[in-house]
């Protein structure tokens, strides 16, 4: 008999360690193909909007945590701010003005995530909280859409 079995372990039985950073990275890998296709369909304005939205979400995360006298480095490396900005960016009209993405990224992180207590404590998805706020605040910009103009269509 093997005496090293120990006591039974309760379910669920996992073989990997799922930490927030790994989960966020998995979601980003899943989002990458559709995001790249969106870049190809809608061109440079959609790429700029994506970058601005992610950058503003990360800046909002850093500034809010500094204002609350908490360490920002760990929160910025877990990927949640990047993923919030990414999800918001792909839900916006592809040629929306840059300030829509900047405002939305800040709003989603500060009011959608940190007001509810931070990572894992939010009642709603922070990116979708930002989208609803943008839709209410800027209905014309949020409901206008352009047709696809592939990035490399003209050579």
Q: Compute the distance between CA of residue 77 and CA of residue 62 in angstroms, rounded to an integer.
A: 11
Q: Compute the distance between CA of residue 89 and CA of residue 134 in angstroms, rounded to an integer.
A: 12
Q: Compute the distance between CA of residue 55 and CA of residue 59 in angstroms, rounded to an integer.
A: 6
108-154 pLDDT per residue, tens: 999 998 888 888 788 899 999 999 999 999 999 999 877 776 665 66
pLDDT of residue 76: 78
Q: Can you give the C-alpha Rg of the chain in angstroms?
A: 19
Domain ranges, ordered by start, for the chain: 44-143
Mean pLDDT is lowest, of 4-8, 64-68, 85-89, for 4-8
Select the more confidently predicted residue: 12 or 147: 147
Residues 6+ apart with CB under 8 A from 61: 72, 75, 76, 80, 81, 109, 113
pTM of the entire predicted model: 0.82
Token representation of residue 111: 């009011």
């Amino acid at each position: 008999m093997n005496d090293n079995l120990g006591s039974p372990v309760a379910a669920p039985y996992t073989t990997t360690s799922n930490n927030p950073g790994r989960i966020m990275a998995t979601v980003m890998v899943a989002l990458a193909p559709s995001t790249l296709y969106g870049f190809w369909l809608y061109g440079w304005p959609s790429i700029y909007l994506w970058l601005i939205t992610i950058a503003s979400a990360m800046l909002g995360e850093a500034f809010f945590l500094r204002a609350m006298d908490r360490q920002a480095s760990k929160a910025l490396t877990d990927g949640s701010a990047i993923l919030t900005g990414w999800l918001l960016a792909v839900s916006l009209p592809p040629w929306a003005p840059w300030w829509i993405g900047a405002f939305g990224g800040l709003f989603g992180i500060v009011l959608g995530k940190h007001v509810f207590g931070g990572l894992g404590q939010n009642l709603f998805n922070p990116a979708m909280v930002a989208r609803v706020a943008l839709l209410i605040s800027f209905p014309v910009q949020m409901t206008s859409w352009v047709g696809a103009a592939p990035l490399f269509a003209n050579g």
